[in-house]
Amino acid sequence: MINLDKQFSIILEKFKLIENSLNNMNDIDSNELIKLNREYSELRPIVEKIKEYNNLQKDILNLNELVKDNDLEISNIAESELIEKKNQIKDLEQELLKLLIPKDKNDSKNSILEIRAGTGGDEASLFASDLLNMYQRYADLNSWKFDILSISETGLKGVKEAICNISGLNVFSKLKFESGVHRVQRVPTTESSGRVHTSAATVAVLPEAEEVDIEVLDKDLRIDVFRSSGPGGQSVNTTDSAVRITHIPTGIVVSQQDEKSQHKNKAKALKILRSRLLDNQIQEKNKERSEQRKNQVGSGDRSERIRTYNFPQGRVSDHRINLTLYNLSEILEGKIDELINPLIAEEESTKLANMKNE
């Protein structure tokens, strides 16, 4: 069972230490300052609720005394207020429990979105294009900035691979459950007999890593430059502006050639590399907690089939929480909160249950 008073004392003490550190900024380097400001911003709303909770407790203690007053009118008024305050404190306890749920430290980060056509040939690349459009529209609905860092297209308006940078408020917290295999069932336009085909695309959502999160050493990098090429191998650039970066310790390779500037391509490639390295760290930690994760929705397993989009029935099914919706056209227009919010609620419910059992 959660000892709220103990939890509150720990949080208030931590908040006070951070506040004191920020008031003496001369002793703090820039990276530490970023970290402290982030922690301060995360704790402040919880601290405000704790203070409200403590004030309510004091009010309840005072009203308990007034209920015993010999003056019947004062006693009745106090009793009425006491009922109201007790209801308020119950609601506030639930709010605080939700705020105390362990947060993913990456939830507030921007994201790198990677979409790749899987099994299914041309139909898979067309579906990958549909997913790219869906996430772009979702970003627009949330007033997020959506930048395509690199894209490899097919001649049929399909997408073999797309890597995008999405920036805005709490992007990763919303998109982190999208990682996995997305399956589509529909009749391809080239299919004369009207048979339903099944194909797939993979989605990876990585928290965008800042330099403070991941240190990339020059000695660990091999950087190759080459000329950009267009469809069919034709040269689209007469200078060696394309960049390929290999991270020697992990073997991760990132190539960028969309920009005419070698410097810009290198910066984009490093952004993607840092995010993949951070994602590697997250995946390693997840493996260590694999038993704990069996009942959680946010495993991030890239090979897990998470969702099916059935066009003949206009149906979308999320297999992790057995959720089925019949508004496929709206979902493809970017209205995916109906899929995302239940996943967030399921994760919160699991974490809350684990907290209560500890």
SS3 letters across the chain: CCCHHHHHHHHHHHHHHHHHHHHCHHHCCHHHHHHHHHHHHHHHHHHHHHHHHHHHHHHHHHHHHHHCCCCHHHHHHHHHHHHHHHHHHHHHHHHHHHHHCCCCCCCCCCEEEEEEECCCHHHHHHHHHHHHHHHHHHHHHCCCEEEEEEEEECCCCCEEEEEEEEECCCHHHHHHHHCEEEEEEECCCCCCCCCCEEEEEEEEEEECCCCCCCCCCHHHEEEEEECCECHHHCECCCCCCEEEEEECCCCEEEEECCCCCHHHHHHHHHHHHHHHHHHHHHHHHHHHCHHHHCCCCCCCCCCCEEEEEECCCCEEEECCCCEEECCHHHHHCCCCHHHHHHHHHHHHHHHHHHHHHC
Q: Beta strands 180-186 and 159-167: pairing type?
A: unpaired
| Architecture of the structural domain at 111-212+298-352 | 2-Layer Sandwich (3.30)
* pLDDT tops 90 at residue 324: yes
Q: Beta strands 159-167 and 145-153: pairing type?
A: antiparallel
| Residue pair 163/272 in contact by the 8 Å Cβ criterion | yes
Residues above pLDDT 70, as percent of the chain: 89
* pLDDT tops 70 at residue 18: yes
* pLDDT tops 90 at residue 31: no
331-336: average pLDDT: 97
CA 221, CA 202: separation in Å to the nearest integer? 27
193-221: average pLDDT: 86
Q: What is the pLDDT of residue 88?
A: 94
CA dihedral defined by 248, 252, 255, 261, rounded to 10 degrees? -50
What CATH class has 218-283?
alpha beta
C-alpha angle 171-208-152 in degrees, rounded to nearest 5? 95
Is the model more confident about 47 or about 296? 47
The whole-chain average pLDDT of the chain stands at 86
- The pLDDT confidence band at residue 42, using thresholds 50, 70 and 90, is confident
- The pLDDT confidence band at residue 288, using thresholds 50, 70 and 90, is low
Q: What phi and psi, each to the nearest 5 degrees, are found at residue 112? A: -100, 120
pLDDT tens for residues 138-157?
999 999 999 999 899 987 88
249-259: average pLDDT: 88
* pLDDT tops 90 at residue 4: no
Is the model more confident about 136 or about 101? 136
CA 24, CA 141: separation in Å to the nearest integer? 41
CA 126, CA 325: separation in Å to the nearest integer? 22
CA 337, CA 89: separation in Å to the nearest integer? 31
Q: What is the pLDDT of residue 11?
A: 92
pLDDT tens for residues 81-94?
999 999 999 999 88
Q: What is the pLDDT of residue 293?
A: 44
* pLDDT tops 80 at residue 287: no
Distances (CA, A) of 190 to 157, 160, 171: 14, 19, 37
CA 114, CA 131: separation in Å to the nearest integer? 11
Q: What is the pLDDT of residue 231?
A: 46
Residues above pLDDT 90, as percent of the chain: 48
**Which of the residue ranges 77-86, 129-138, 222-231 would you say has the lowest mean pLDDT?**
222-231
| Residue pair 274/214 in contact by the 8 Å Cβ criterion | yes
Q: What is the pLDDT of residue 192?
A: 64
| Residue pair 298/306 in contact by the 8 Å Cβ criterion | no
Q: What is the pLDDT of residue 22?
A: 85
Name the token pair of 246. Answer: 């290999």
CA 267, CA 209: separation in Å to the nearest integer? 13
38-48: average pLDDT: 89
- Domain segments of the chain as ranges: 4-100, 111-212+298-352, 218-283
Residues with Cβ within 8 Å of residue 207, at least 6 apart in sequence: 106, 109, 110, 111, 112, 172, 176, 275, 278, 279, 282
- The pLDDT confidence band at residue 299, using thresholds 50, 70 and 90, is very low
Does the CA dihedral 204-207-211-217 come out positive or negative? negative
| Residue pair 160/113 in contact by the 8 Å Cβ criterion | no
CA 261, CA 318: separation in Å to the nearest integer? 42
Q: What is the pLDDT of residue 232?
A: 42
